[in-house]
Chains A and B, each alone.
Chain A
Amino acid sequence: DVVLTQTPPTLSATIGQSVSISCRSSQSLLHSNGNTYLHWLLQRPGQSPQLLIYLVSRLESGVPNRFSGSGSGTDFTLKISGVEAEDLGVYYCVQGTHAPDTFGAGTKLELK
Chain B
Amino acid sequence: QVQLKESGPGLVQPSETLSLTCTVSGFSLTSYSVSWVRQPSGKGPEWMGRMWYDGDTAYNSALKSRLSISRDTSKNQVFLKMNSLQTDDTGTYYCTRDRVIRGFDYWGQGVMVTVSS
Contact = CB atoms under 8 A, between A and B. Distances in A.
- A and B: real partners? yes
Interface of A: 35, 37, 39, 41, 48-51, 54-55, 60, 92, 94, 96, 99-106
A96 B45 CA distance: 14
Given A101-B47, A103-B44, A105-B44, A96 B100 contact: yes
A88 B30 CA distance: 36
Contacts, number: 56
Chain B's interface: helix, strand, loop or mixed, by majority? Answer: loop
B104 interface: yes
B43 to A, nearest CB: 7
A55 B61 CA distance: 25
A48 B107 contact: yes
A37 B47 contact: no
Contacts of A60: 102, 105
